[in-house]
Structure 1
Amino acid sequence: MGSVGDSYDNALMENFWSTLKIELVHRNSWRTRDEAENAIFAYIDGWYNSRRLQKDLGYLSPDEYETA
């Protein structure tokens, strides 16, 4: 994290929101707010956090890295 006023303050979250919008939100539409909330939760908890490939883990997912 940077100090107050640095461009690094929000860079991590801005990257996350950008990825979420590109990979989920702009590719789908939902009839209700509950459907959207459930889809976003499933994306974050079910795929982004556990199965998404991570450069710092040698291009393994966190699950694969922990298993190895």
Structure 2
Amino acid sequence: MTKKDLSPADARALLMEILRAELARILDRQAEAAIFEYINGFYSPRRRHSALGWKSPVAFEGKLA
């Protein structure tokens, strides 16, 4: 298929499809980065755990040192 085979409406529709797919990829990467940052920045190191006597892993390790 060449450019000449596409009508202006088809070309616009194809462009919109490509842009939507690229935007979805960008948003997926941003969401993945935000979730990773939350888990590794707050949830895992600072959240209190019952197995650690309701202390955060950071506080628990600090008490051991």
Alignment TM-score, normalising by the size of structure 2: 0.52
Q: Which runs of 4+ in 1 moved over 3 A?
A: none
Which residue is equivalent to 2:57?
62
Q: Greater helix share, 1 or 2?
A: 2
Structure 2 SS opposite 1:60: coil
Shift of residue 51, structure 1, vs aligned partner: 0.5
Which residue is equivalent to 2:36?
41
Aligned-residue sequence identity (percent) comes to: 42
Aligned residues: 38
Q: Which of the pair has more CA radius of gyration? A: 2
Q: Does 1:52 align with 2:50?
A: no
Q: Which amino acid aligns with 1:63?
A: V
Aligned-pair Cα RMSD in Å: 1.4
Shift of residue 67, structure 1, vs aligned partner: 0.3
Following the alignment from structure 1 to structure 2, what is the Cα–Cα distance between the partners of residues 41 and 54?
Answer: 19
Structure 1 residues without counterparts, runs of 5 or longer: 1-30
Structure 2 residues without counterparts, runs of 5 or longer: 1-25
